[in-house]
Amino acid sequence: MNSNKAGKFIVIDGTDGSGKTTQLQLLKADLEARGYPVAVADFPQYNTKSAGAVEEYLSGKYGSAETVGPYKASIFYAVDRYDASFKIRTWLNEGKIVLANRYTSANMGHQGGKIDEPTERKKFFAWLNDLEYNIFGLPKPDLSIILYLQPEIAQQLAKQRKREDWTGKTQDIHEDNLIHLQKAAQVYREIAADDANFKLIDCAPNGKLFSREEIGRLVNQEVKSVINE
């Protein structure tokens, strides 16, 4: 591996329960085994000041996801990403491959899913793009991988998994709302269809869940095209 290569910013995102954290860990191990320097940013940054409003929102303190609405909720997450943007930019300047567990694409899916009217949703995406990349000046990913899993399957997996980043309820206000998950999943598919920097991987075609190794192979295929292997 050529250590003089410029850094790359790769996001692992997607529907709830699709195995984002698992795939990020597998990808990190694989890249490091091939000699690449890797750094990881995990969002939201739970138990930090910058994620305070996100935690309160997800706990339901501010009301339901629909009550808070997409615009206010997006600002909570953008502030948290702004806090992390300084270390991300440093890592990229050092030539590292930066892997992010969720990023702006998560707002597009979860918050955009609250907006049913397509024209209004596009307006929201334009506003969000301006907020994150112009006002806050966040680094733009070179690749965003969207792991897609049918919401009904995802909700069952979310109920089964052990939560290691949350000290409140077993599920947050997004995971506990199947309609919200269904809308977010549909928006993720639309995003991947409309933007070449987004690559969607269906983790359970025909309702049969791929193994983590098979999903990892598909993730690696997309990543290799970005790091020019």
pTM: 0.89
Which residues lie closer than 8 Å to 53 by C-beta, 6 or more apart?
76, 79
Token pair listed for 156: 């069952």
Q: What is the pLDDT of residue 3?
A: 44
Q: Which of 105, 88, 77, 87 is nearest to 197 (CA)?
A: 105
What's the distance, Cα to Cα, between the start and end of the chain in Å? Answer: 10
Question: Is the separation of the CB atoms in 100 and 43 below 8 Å?
Answer: yes
Q: List the CATH code of the domain at 8-226.
A: 3.40.50.300
Q: What is the mean pLDDT of each run of 10 residues along the chain (229 residues)?
A: 70 92 97 98 97 95 92 98 98 98 96 94 97 98 96 76 51 64 93 94 92 97 91
Q: Which of 192, 218, 195 is nearest to 205 (CA)?
A: 218
Q: What is the pLDDT of residue 152?
A: 84
Q: Which of 122, 133, 53, 124 is nearest to 85 (CA)?
A: 133
